[in-house]
Amino acid sequence: MWSDHSVMTNRPLPPRSILTLLAALATGGAASNRLTTPVSTSSVIRINQLGYLPNGPKTAVMCVTSDSTPGAAAAVASPITFVVQDTTGRQALGARRASSAGAFGPCAQTYRLDFSSLRTPGRYRVVAGDVRSPIVRIDARAYAGAADTLLYYMRQQRSGFNPTLRDSVHKRDGLIVDHPTRTGEFVNVSGGWADAADYLQYVTTSATATYVMLKARADYPRAFSDNFAANGLPGVNGVDDALDEARHGLEWLLRMFPDDSTMFNQLADDRDHSFFDIPTNDSSDYGWGKGKERPVYPCTGKPQGLFSGKNRATGYASTAGKYASTFALAARAYAGSDPAFAKRLRERALAAYALGVKYPGNCQTAPGRAPYFYEEENWVDDMELGAAELFALTKERPFLDDALGFAAREPVTPWMGADTARHYEWYPWLNHGHDAVWRVADGAGKRQMAAYYRQGLERVVARASNGFRVGIPFIWCSNNLMSAFATQALLYRRMTGDNRFREYEAAALDWLFGANPWGTSMVIGLPWSGTWPHDPHSAMSKQIGIETQLGGLVDGPVYRSIFENLRGIHLFDPDEYAMYNTGFIVYHDDLGDYSSNEPIMDGTGMLTYLLAAMAP
Ligand SMILES: [Ca+2]
Ligand SMILES: [Ca+2]
C-alpha cells in the first residue's frame, strides 16, 4: 500500500513549459512520489493536497477503515481529539474534539477535523493520536496556476494540429453519414478536442467546455496567464491561454455548424475503440479503409445509430442551445479584439438558437457498435442558457422572456438528489443558464434563479451527512458531478451572500484534491508533489508518458455495481487501493479501468471555472 504521509510537500505546479516537466520526469522527479512508507494504522487523515485559503473553511477527514480489528471499530465511534502541528512538531492549534460522522464507503467511521480557525499561512500536519496527515498547506496562493494547469490537458487533446505531438492528427475529417441528402459528402471539420482517451468528438461536450472556459476567463481574468500561442505551442501571443483554448474550440464548432440548416453533432463513433493507440496512429476503419475519413453525424431529430444500437434523439435543441450560448458569449469576448469574428459568432448564435426553437428536443450522441452513448434527456437547460446569453448580447427582450420560461421548466437539474442517472442523462451537470439569467434579470428574476440553485443544492446536501459531506450519485464521471455541485454552490453564494452550503462546497473541492477515501487528487499532476493518478486509461500516457496527461481530470469513483458490469473492464495491475475499495464505491489507478480512471475533456474544461475562482 502506498500512502499518504511522508513525501508530500504540497507545492502547486507553477506555470512552466511542458519541456521543464519532461526534464523533471527524466530525472525521476515524479516517480519518487509514488512509493512511501506503509500505513501503520488502519486510520488515515485525508486532506486537500492543493491547500486551504487562510480565510476559508479547512477540514481534514479521518477515515477508520473497515478492516480494523474487532472492537476497535466500536471504540473509535466515540469522539476523538486532534491537534494541528507545524512542521517542527510545535502545536499550532490546540486540541479539538471531533465526533464520528458515521460510516462511508470503506470507512467504518469518519471524522471531520475542522481547523478553520487556524488562519496563519504555513505548513502543518493534522494529528489525531498516532495518525498524521500529509503536509497541509495554508496559503492565499494555494490555487495559483491551478486553472492554467488544466489547460495543459486541453491542449494535449487537440485534434487537427496537436501541440503535444507536434503533428497533425485526424487530417481527413470527415465524411457525412446519416443525412437525408448529403451522406458520403466530405466536409472539413478538422480541429476541436478528443473527448477522452478515445478520439470521438462531440459538440455537446466541446461546446460546454468552451463555454465554461470563456466564462472562467471573463469572470476571473487574472486566473490565467499567457504562456502559449494560439496553436498550443509554448510562446506568448498577447492572449490569455484560456481564450486561446476556447478559440480552438470555437473554430471547430463553427465548422460543425456551417450553414443555417446543417447542424453537425458528432465526429467519429465508437468504432474508434477498435484501436488503443496515440491519435497519429489511429487506424480505425469506418468502412472505407483504415485511417481514412471519420464519419460526421448531423442532428436529425430522429433516433440515430448506423448499426443495431440507436439513441433516443427527438430534436436539435440540446445541441442548438449549446452552440447558441457558446457563440453568444464568445461574440461578447471578441467584440473589442476581433470584431469580424465577433460578428460571425453572433450570426451563428442566432441561427443556432432558431434551429433549437424549430426542433425542440434532444440531439443525443450516436452509438456505433457499443451500447454506450451520451443519453442526454434535457434540452430546456441548454435553450435557457442560449436565450440568456443572446439577451446579454443583443438586449432583445424576447430572449429574456424565453430564458425565464425555459428556466421554470427545469428549476433543478434532475440528477441533484437522485441515487442514479443514465450516462450524461442530465447534461451539463451544472445549468449555467440560471446564473446567466440571474446576471440580466430584475430583482424578482434574480431571486427566482437563486431559489432554483438553492433547491438543487438542498437536495444534494440532504444526502451528505457522511464525514466527506458528499451527496452526489456515484454514476460514471462522478467527478463531474462533484465539480458541478461545488461550482453551483459557489455561484449561489456569490449571488446571495448566503453561506449555508459553504461547508459542502469546500468538501466537494477538497474531495477532488485528495479528501476522499483513496487520498488521491483526481487531477493528474495537481499538485505535482501530491498523490495523483499515474496510470490513467490513456494510450498517450502509456506510450509517451504520464506527463502528457498533466491537468486531466479523471472520471472518479463509481458504484461498485457500475464497475462490475461494464464491458471489457479489468485491472491490469494489483490494486494499490484495494484497502479502500471495500465499500459501495470504487476507484482504481489502473490503465484498465475506463470507468473511474480515464481523463475526460469536458470535465477538465468545466473545472476551470472553480479553480479560476479560487485563484489569488
Ligand atoms: Ca496565449
Ligand atoms: Ca441539457
Give the Cα separation of 285 and 282 in Å (integer): 9
How far, in Å, is the centroid of ligand 1 from the Cα of 53? Answer: 28
Closest to 128 measured CA to CA, from 47, 9, 48: 47
Q: pLDDT tens digits, residue range 200-249?
A: 999 999 999 999 999 999 999 999 999 999 999 999 999 999 999 999 99
Q: Which ligand is nearest to the CA of 155?
A: 1
**pLDDT averaged over every residue in the chain:** 92
Centre of ligand 1 from the C-alpha of residue 224, in Å: 9
Report which bound ligand comes closest to the CA of 414: 2
Identify the nearest ligand to the CA of 325 by its number. Answer: 2
Assess whether pLDDT exceeds 50 at residue 276.
yes
Give the pLDDT mean for 520-547.
Answer: 97
The Å distance, Cα 375 to ligand 2 centre, comes to 10
Cα 241 to middle of ligand 1, angstroms:
4
- pLDDT (tens digit, 9 = 90+) per residue, 103-155? 999 999 999 999 999 999 999 999 999 999 999 999 999 999 999 999 999 99
Q: Which ligand is nearest to the CA of 207?
A: 2
pLDDT of residue 11: 29
The ligand placed nearest to the CA atom of residue 230 is 1
Nearest ligand to the C-alpha of residue 244?
1
pTM: 0.93
Give me ligand 2 centre to Cα 11, in Å: 37
> Cα separation of 560 and 565, whole Å?
9
Gap from CA of 165 to ligand 2 centroid (Å):
33
Q: Which residues, other chains included, contact 552 with Cβ-Cβ below 8 Å and sequence gap of 6+?
A: 153, 156, 523, 524, 536, 538, 599, 600, 604
Which ranges of 287-379 would DSSP assign to H, the alpha helix?
317-333, 339-358
Provide the pLDDT confidence category of residue 326 given band limits of 50, 70 and 90: very high
Say how many Å lie between the CA of residue 426 and the centre of ligand 2: 6
Closest ligand to C-alpha of residue 229 is: 1
Q: Report CA(596)–ligand 1 centroid distance (Å).
A: 32
Contact status, residue 514 vs residue 46, Cβ threshold 8 Å: yes
Q: Distance, CA 299 to ligand 2 centroid (Å)?
A: 15
Hey, which residues does 234 pair with through a beta bridge? 228
Among 29-38, 295-304, 571-580, name the one with the lowest average pLDDT.
29-38
| Predicted pLDDT of residue 452 | 98
pLDDT of residue 71: 52
Mean pLDDT of 389-417: 98
Q: How far, in whole angstroms, is CA 85 from its chain's centroid?
A: 33
CA of 320 to the centre of ligand 2 (A): 10
403 pLDDT more than 50: yes
Ligand nearest to the Cα of 247, by number: 1
Closest ligand (CA of 235): 1
**For the chain, the helix, strand and coil percentages under 3-state DSSP, each to the nearest 5:** 35, 15, 50
d(CA 244, CA 148): 12
Strands 558-559 and 585-586: antiparallel
* Residue-wise DSSP of 422-437: -TT-S-SSS-HHHHHH
With a cut of 70, say whether residue 407 has pLDDT above it.
yes
384 CA distance to ligand 2 middle (Å): 10
CB-based contact 129:142 (threshold 8 Å): no
Contact 162, 26 (CB under 8 A): no
Rounded to the nearest angstrom, the distance between the alpha carbon of 243 and the centre of ligand 1 is 8
Give the number of whichever ligand sits closest to the CA of residue 234: 1
More confident residue, 36 or 64: 64
Supply the pLDDT for residue 78.
86
Answer whether residue 29 shows pLDDT above 80. Answer: no
Label each residue of 339-358 as H, E or C: HHHHHHHHHHHHHHHHHHHH
Q: Taking residues 69-86, what's their average pLDDT?
A: 75
Give CA separation, 250 vs 190, 203, 295, 390, 456, in Å: 12, 10, 20, 17, 30
- Cα-based torsion angle of the residue sequence 261, 333, 245, 520 in order, rounded to the nearest 10 degrees: -110
pLDDT confidence of 274, banded at 50, 70, 90?
A: confident
> How far is it, in rounded angstroms, from Cα 357 to Cα 544?
46
Contact between residue 106 and residue 577 where contact means Cβ atoms under 8 Å apart:
no
pLDDT tens sequence across 374-390: 999 999 999 999 999 99
Q: How confident is the model at residue 409 (pLDDT cuts 50, 70, 90)?
A: very high
| Residue-wise burial string across 459-480, b where 16 or more C-beta atoms lie within 10 A, e elsewhere | bbbeebebbbbbbbbbbbbbbb
Above 80 in pLDDT, residue 166? yes
Of the ranges 38-42, 481-485, 493-497, 596-600, which one carries the lowest mean pLDDT score?
A: 38-42
Over residues 289-299, mean pLDDT:
94
Residue with cell 465508437: 270
Q: Which ligand is nearest to the CA of 246?
A: 1
